[in-house]
Amino acid sequence: AQSVSQHNHHVILSEAASLELGCNYSYGGTVNLFWYVQYPGQHLQLLLKYFSGDPLVKGIKGFEAEFIKSKFSFNLRKPSVQWSDTAEYFCAASLMDSSYKLIFGSGTRLLVRP
Amino acid sequence: ETGVTQTPRHLVMGMTNKKSLKCEQHLGHNAMYWYKQSAKKPLELMFVYSLEERVENNSVPSRFSPECPNSSHLFLHLHTLQPEDSALYLCASSEHAWGAGSYEQYFGPGTRLTVT
């Protein structure tokens, strides 16, 4: 079955530390990949997305993600986190031929200590 | 109002009650979605509507009944729910359900449902 795995359920970092959140998907076909973020008390919002082209994708607020097809991975990175990055992060994927079917990972809760 | 709005934000209901959740999108989109977010589980897609036509029913029990009267409004009618149905119910919309314009889904704040 198609699935998205996020290996870190909880991550705690100090401000200015570097962040990498893992995401792996199990799809055989061409995929669209997404990272969504949910700040405390706010809506889910799109951080960045990958459809095709350059596998290194840059999103809002200094986040980036790299699509590595051979590893079925789409890890999220930020070189220096801030307290305001405290949130829950969700990786999601959809197949090109059924693009509305977003399959989400279980999420990673990030706590950034000031 | 902008984006996707949902009402009510919180709902407590008994197992014999009937209630409805409402979603409205102000983005001019043609596709709308219901998701269920339970604690410690991934978001689950429940229903998808494209141009008011249901295109996906992801094996959802019949005690959940969606309605899409127009492309801006989506309802989820609830009846005889079970305690395990307690969750956050999220509505989303996208420009289209397929192809270009389908990729980015915009989410509402959700309705926190508690079934007692």
Segment A49-101, tens digit of pLDDT: 998 889 999 999 999 999 999 999 999 999 999 999 999 999 999 877 667 78
The tens digit of pLDDT for each residue in A7-24 reads 889 999 999 999 999 999
CA-CA distance, B68 to A2, in Å (whole number)? 28
Is B95 near chain A, with CB under 8 Å?
no
How many interchain CB pairs under 8 A, A with B? Answer: 56
Give A94's contacts in chain B (Cβ within 8 Å): 103
Is A24 near chain B, with CB under 8 Å?
no
Q: Which of A68, A67, A72 is nearest to A29 (CA)?
A: A72
Residue B109 has pLDDT above 60, yes or no: yes
* Shortest Cα–Cα distance, A79 to chain B (Å): 25
Nearest to A99 among B103, B108, B109 (CB): B103
Q: Which of A60, A57, A87 is nearest to A75 (CA)?
A: A57
- pLDDT category at B55 given cuts 50, 70, 90 is confident
Give B1's contacts in chain A (Cβ within 8 Å): none
CA-CA distance, B33 to A90, in Å (whole number)? 17
Q: Give pLDDT, residue B101.
A: 56
Residues of chain B above pLDDT 70, percent: 95
Torsion sign across C-alpha atoms B83, A5, B65, A45: positive
Residues of chain A above pLDDT 70, percent: 96
CA-CA distance, A56 to B74, in Å (whole number)? 36
Q: Which residue of B has its CA nearest to A40?
A: B109
Nearest to A100 among B43, B48, B109 (CB): B48
Q: What are phi and psi of A63, to 5 degrees?
A: -85, 150
